[in-house]
Amino acid sequence: MPSRITFPFLALVVVAAAAALFPTSCSQQPAAPQPRGFYISCGSATDLQAGSIKWVRDEGFTAVGNASTIDKPNLLPVLATLRFFPDATARKYCYKLPVVKGTRYLVRTTYFYGGFDGGKDPPVFDQIIDGTRWSAVNTTDNYRRGMSTYFEIVAEGQGRTMSVCLARRPETKSSPFISALEVIDLEDSMYNTTDYERYAMSTVARSRFGSKGEIVSYPDDQYNRYWAPFADANPAVESHSSISPDDFWNQPPAKALKAGVTTSRGKNLTVQWPPAELPAATYYVALYFQDPRTASPYSWRVFDVAVNGQVFFRGLNATAAGVMVYSNMMQLSGKTEILLTPNTTSPVGPLINAGEIYQIVPLGGKTATKDVVAMDDLARSLKNPPPDWAGDPCLPPLLSWTGVVCSPGSPVRVLSLDLKNHGLSGSLPDSIGNLTGMQTINLSGNKLSGSIPDLGSMHTLTVLHLDGNQFSGTIKPSMETLINLKELYLNNNNLTGKIPDGLKNKPGLDLRTEGNKFE
């Protein structure tokens, strides 16, 4: 069992994690089984095969946006198309993927601007996972260097679906866009010390030390994580031992541990990593060590580990089998220094092979599950819902669905729905009655048809405007139980039967029923 250490929770600051880079072209990987998860080529007209991975079209995962192609030489096929979202009236633009509640996923978004809109600089916008604002997307510097940009976050499925959305910022010019989206299944044992009911983890860096060359990913890493090379002035060493990822927590690929940086016997090893300065925040840090020499009971490599002067682990023994240590709530800011101090009896100097660092992102709240289900049902029942009716209906705050107002606090509830004169057609699902926090509904002046569902459980409802539609059938007797109802507009529909006496005689109720076929 790998050794480990944890640090106490101190404070949280929400700051976007740094983006990582990968080249806009690369060689094909040898064939291997498809990794578990979804690999979506945004805007592509066909499915694509890139090495071992089949990328599918984004049809069925999003219902909005326009496809565009990028006319540049030597691009990876998955970067040669994108989907952009020109509708400035929509509050957000969402992809929606089926997931298993409680399962952990690595979500990766990839962006390559390519001047699709005729401009010189990419637009800056936000990205959102479920109801949490994840980070800003600013790919300007990378695009000028001919590079694409990717972002990663580790999060758990909170229900039957997971949404990944883009949203404009006040300074957003042109249209938000996306080139690729990946949602990769992780094993339950991986990164399992974080409370995913409260947090997600945004990738800052994942590096293999003492290495040069290309990024290591699938098929070397069965979860398609990207392990970037990192080399500094310290001596590099190659491993001669057999390495099994299963022996390590988080299962890093053997290839990521085949090299490391070290120093001479008796000397401290100092590594400045990651290269970029970190914003003041809380981080998950995992460090991997493996003695590159052939295993022997007469040789050992023992040292202490410190990060920015804080004790990370004492007396770590980096054996040929390898060891991983971590902190799941570590406060860091600015430059980060890893210091390895050898034991006085250790016959060789300390070394380090690989590292991962993630920023801890507090989740932005949770909308009541029954409200999410009911609003999703409503979106499916409407033939032409507003373009931003996907993802969480209430979150992030100020980015709720068009026409939807929600409560503060936790869990968040849907309070109001106003889509008057919105050109809607379709029907209302029975599950709309489960929106028990609803206070006002205004769907006047549309082309909605079918029967009016049983709304008897919506006891907080004060206003219900369904006038000027094509509803048919009768008024449910349970409508009489809505004790707080003050306005009920049913005029100019195709309703039949009798108006319940409890509605006709209800004190203080503004009831409008003309233009129907009541007895």
| Distance (Å, whole) CA 180 – CA 201 | 20
Cut 0.85: pTM above it = yes
pLDDT in tens, the chain (519 residues): 232 222 222 222 222 233 333 444 444 444 567 888 999 999 999 999 988 899 999 999 999 999 999 999 989 999 999 999 999 999 999 999 999 999 999 999 999 999 999 999 999 999 999 999 999 999 999 999 999 999 999 999 998 999 999 999 999 999 999 999 999 999 999 999 999 999 999 999 999 999 988 899 999 999 999 999 999 999 999 987 777 777 788 999 999 999 999 999 999 999 999 999 999 999 999 999 988 876 666 667 899 999 999 999 999 998 888 899 999 999 999 999 999 999 988 888 999 999 999 999 999 988 999 999 999 999 999 999 999 999 999 999 999 999 999 999 889 999 999 999 999 999 999 999 999 999 999 999 999 999 999 999 999 999 999 999 999 999 999 999 999 999 999 999 999 999 999 999 999 999 999 999 998
Q: Tell me the C-alpha to C-alpha distance, in Å, between residue 287 and each of 231, 329, 353, 473.
A: 16, 14, 8, 66
364 Rama class: left (phi>0) / alpha (psi -120 to 50) / beta: alpha
| Distance (Å, whole) CA 413 – CA 431 | 15
Token pair, residue 66, equals 């326009």
Predicted confidence at residue 300, as pLDDT, reads 75
The class (CATH top level) of 37-186 is mainly beta
The neighbour count for residue 403, using CB atoms within 10 Å, is: 18
Question: How much helix, strand and coil, in percent to the nearest 5, is found in the chain?
Answer: 10, 40, 55
| Distance (Å, whole) CA 22 – CA 26 | 9
CATH topology of domain 203-362: Jelly Rolls (2.60.120)
Tokens 């060689």 belong to: 27
Shared fold status for 37-186 and 203-362: yes
Name which of 26, 32, 21 is nearest 142 in CA terms. Answer: 21
Looking at domain 369-518, does it have CATH number 3.80.10.10?
yes
Tokens 């990419």 belong to: 122
Edge-to-edge strand ranges of the sheet holding 337-342: 269-272, 337-342, 302-307, 310-317
E strands within 192-301? 199-209, 228-230, 236-238, 259-262, 269-272, 278-289
Q: Taking a C-beta distance cutoff of 8 angstroms, is the pair 263, 338 a contact?
A: no
Q: How many CA atoms lie within 13 Å of 411's alpha carbon, on the beta-carbon side? A: 14
Which residues, at least 6 apart from 123, have a Cβ–Cβ distance to it below 8 Å? 117, 172, 173, 174, 175, 176, 177
Q: Tell me the C-alpha to C-alpha distance, in Å, between residue 318 and each of 266, 338, 348.
A: 15, 16, 11
| Distance (Å, whole) CA 154 – CA 47 | 26
| Distance (Å, whole) CA 318 – CA 301 | 6
Predicted confidence at residue 273, as pLDDT, reads 97
Cis bond before residue 219 (omega within 30° of 0)? yes
Token pair, residue 136, equals 């800003």
Predicted confidence at residue 28, as pLDDT, reads 44
Predicted confidence at residue 1, as pLDDT, reads 27
List phi, psi (to 5°) of 389: -85, 70
Q: Where are the domains of the chain?
A: 37-186, 203-362, 369-518
Q: Partners of 149 in the beta sheet?
A: 21, 111
Q: How many CA atoms lie within 13 Å of 377's alpha carbon, on the beta-carbon side? A: 15
Tokens 């053997």 belong to: 254
Name the DSSP class of 452.
Answer: P
